[in-house]
A and B are shown apart, each in its own frame.
Chain A
Amino acid sequence: MKKVYVNEDWCLACHLCEFYCAAANSGAPDMVKAFKSGKKPVPRIQVEEGSDVNFAVQCRHCDGKACVKGCITGALSIKDGVVVCDESRCVGCYTCVLSCPFGCIVIDEEGHRIQKCDLCTKNHDGEPACVQGCPNKAIVFEER
């Protein structure tokens, strides 16, 4: 299955992936509108910055799937290998935040629910927004 991978040699910690991700999943037609119309959209990818190493982390769609198994509402499920969240069913208990070994479940504090990377299966054709938006090809979408 094609997944998003990050090559930390090339990650510049520019954080653009977070903004492209947030905008793509905001439902707004462009980035300006996504960020300028009230609620600040939440990225599902997070950049970790170090002194000389940086990388972005997002859902690994891992084999363990502890988040799905622990979900108390059934909001999280697996579609074609992709862990997806039905946000309308999430009550914000954060059991998945507790479970995810990569820290990839993102808390939407305003919405009192979680958000997570679904590889842009709901909003994009082709490559996920973070991959398209990475200026240094640090983020790739590929089969491994």
Chain B
Amino acid sequence: MLQREGETRIPAGCAISGFINRSGRRTNGSVIVNSIGCMHERSNGLGGGFAGYGIYPEYKDQYALHVFYDSSEARIKTEAFLDRHFDVVNLSRIPVRKNPNITDEPLIWRYFVNPLPTKLQDSQLDERTFVARCVIKVNDKIDGAYVFSSGKNMGVFKAVGYPEDVGDFYRLEEYDGWAWTVHGRYPTNTPGWWGGAHPFSLLDYTIVHNGEISSYDANRRFIEMFGYKCNLLTDTEVITYIIDYLNRRIGMPLEDVAKVIASPFWSELESGKFSPEDTEKIRHFRNVYSSLLITGPFSIILGFNNGLMALNDRLKLRSMVAAEKGDTVYISSEECSIRTMCPDLDRIWSPRGGEPIIVTLDKDAQERVGK
């Protein structure tokens, strides 16, 4: 019998795409659906998914939890857990449209929640860590329940199927966001579990990833020392946790996060291309955070509360192109999908391995639409 994500490692090739409008102008979800559709052959129908940022302006102060349930029992157990830890402001099934190519759907629910102040205080954790722990707990402990989105004013939509069908299924044309990412999956041997589709997310971090990292177990065994539990055994999951750990918990800026997970080669460091101060810092990273270096091919688009970061492995073993038009930045596995979204670009380029592209909302836009 085929083992699903979490039971075994499943290598996968993929397509990714995404864009962000720095001014916070929101774009309809249909645009990103079209962009992935033209890379149809990079997926194989065993998984597709989207992350949209700025899509819940009316609930932007609540954590939006998207949950798959295998059964009503799982839902009852989970909702009991949620009630114990959160003030649930709104709950509903996520509206979907029947699509002949999307089958076997689980129960898909959405909750807008605030942590219960007493519980939060008792936990002695900051709010985000508290929420993250709760999400991890549901996923780890409640059989048949899986929280697949948990950030504020953002949401993940994913399923087994081709991504363009998934977009149709979730009626993404009904959502508007200032940033979107999408993932089309080409796994080699999954039975097709909805939770295993991408993006993977924790709080407002979402990752779409194309690649197969060779450092997986080194990264996993390291990051699990810090309270994470890699249930899915996927690259995306561990990369998300690494970024969460470095960026959110340690407070490392994303530029430095990139220097840890796709660090410059020693030969580059010795070439004098970095300032002495940066050289010293990178040496320190390569010493102290050496187990968070990610090797093997990857191209990722990280979504976070006010921006996107795209990053290739340091050898650039996966294709990834970036483009710009006005205040919008596009990133994709292939140029064609960017041209689908915007045929007339100001600039298009191929980012170097290990050099991150970090795009954040402009200051005033952050105040307007962020947080």
Would A and B touch once assembled, by the CB under 8 A criterion? no
